[in-house]
Amino acid sequence: MGKWEYIQFNDAIDDVTKYATKIKKEEYLNQGDYQIIDQGKDSIGGYVCSPDGLYEDVPVIVFGDHTRVFKYVESPLFIGADGVKLLKVKHNDLNVRFVYYYFKSRRVIDTGYNRHFKWLKEFEIPLPPILVQQQIADVLDRASALIEKRKAQIEKLDLLAKSQFIEMFGDPVTNPKGWDIRRLSEIATSRLGKMLDTKQQTGNYRYPYLANFNVQWFRFDFSELNEMDFNEADRQEFELKKGDLLVCEGGEVGRCAIWEEEVKECYFQKALHRIRCNKEIIIPKYLSRWFQFRSQYNKFEDIVGQATIAHLPGVKLKKLQIMVPPIYIQNQFADFIRQIEKQQSLLQQSLTQLKQNYKSLMQKCFWGEIF
């Protein structure tokens, strides 16, 4: 790191979690006067209406004890009841935003769904001149703002796609336009992927495969692509073809993306359903957006239930009641979506570059290469 003085975590930071009011997840509101900050990836987890117990000694840093997520919070808050640490910078010569970005620049060791605060407390915190801290925080603020702006542009296009879906087809739940309703098994074939059995791995027929985490909404994440054995019979059974719709069986039930042969000879794991549409009746562009609406409407809770971990088994998938408009209208919608996706793809490339630049900039700031 840079040639700066360093101080111990406990000399710089107070854990003030006990002074904040914790709100259980089931008590979150979608709207309200006061924010709840939890350890999730979203900046705000939910809201409450009553100010009783509001923590007002801000700014503070929120740390996700399980998720290792950091958040800088300037407004009074409540905190989520599970795995949240509320941290107050107590050293007079430390800028809070500087400390926040420093934490984000460091890697807290990942031990799975365990507590990680003990690892964070081992950090020593740099103490450059306060003017340098302010400059670093300002530079990283501007870089962060560019990233958030790009995310907002992508989200705006996603909202436009959702709006077009409703305008053309109406609400899939109430079906106000009276479109035909068909079971999925009547308009497509589907199957779960191959179960991963480590005992059966020989290493002789290794091929890449998609897991649940590889499938994001309308795109694939190839940052980590695992391999396992697929013999000749497996390859015939679990091959992926252009136009296949991959749907998450668990996790975020229904999350899906259309396979465009991004990877040669790729297969899929049991955590995913492969759906092949009868394209004379229904097309993947339409069906994928139907899954998105259905997922965001009630996360398939009426289908999967919540007695155990939510998942959508193959039998229930085949019985899904799908709203099926005429194919020519689906194709019109698909043309619109392709234009949206082209713009989103360009913005996503820009976002990826901005994130890489941000990471590099952060490292240079804290190595003393810029200031």
| Domain residue spans of the chain | 5-127, 128-154+328-371, 180-324
pLDDT above 70: residue 262: yes
State the Cα–Cα distance between residues 348 and 181, nearest whole angstrom.
35
Calculate the average pLDDT of the chain: 93
Angstrom CA distances, 204 to 76, 209, 227, 228, stand at 58, 15, 11, 9
Rounded to whole angstroms, the maximal C-alpha distance in the chain is 70
Q: pLDDT at position 309, please?
A: 59
pLDDT above 90: residue 297: no
- The residue with tokens 């306060």 is 130
Q: pLDDT at position 51, please?
A: 96
Which band of pLDDT confidence, cut at 50, 70 and 90, is reported for residue 199? low
pLDDT above 90: residue 308: no
Determine the average pLDDT of the residues in 334-361.
96
Express each pLDDT in 318-334 by its tens digit: 999 999 999 999 999 99
Q: With residue 338 as reference, give the H or E element that holds it.
A: helix 327-366
Q: Span 5-127: which CATH code?
A: 3.90.220.20
Give Cβ neighbours of residue 13 (< 8 Å, ≥ 6 apart).
Answer: 87, 88, 89, 90, 99, 125
Q: With residue 170 as reference, give the H or E element that holds it.
A: none
What are the percentages of helix, strand and coil residues in the chain, rounded to 5?
40, 25, 40
Q: Helix, strand, or coil here: 25?
A: helix
Q: pLDDT at position 70, please?
A: 97
Which band of pLDDT confidence, cut at 50, 70 and 90, is reported for residue 66? very high
Q: pLDDT at position 173, please?
A: 87
Express each pLDDT in 48-65 by its tens digit: 999 999 999 999 999 999
Determine the average pLDDT of the residues in 189-198.
88
180-324: which CATH topology?
Answer: Adenine-n6-DNA-methyltransferase TaqI; Chain A, domain 2 (3.90.220)
pLDDT above 80: residue 305: no
Topology alike, domains 5-127 and 180-324: yes
Q: pLDDT at position 114, please?
A: 84
pLDDT above 90: residue 185: yes
Closest to 64 in 3D by CA, of 35, 42, 47, 46: 42
Q: pLDDT at position 307, please?
A: 46
Q: Helix, strand, or coil here: 248?
A: strand
Which band of pLDDT confidence, cut at 50, 70 and 90, is reported for residue 306? low
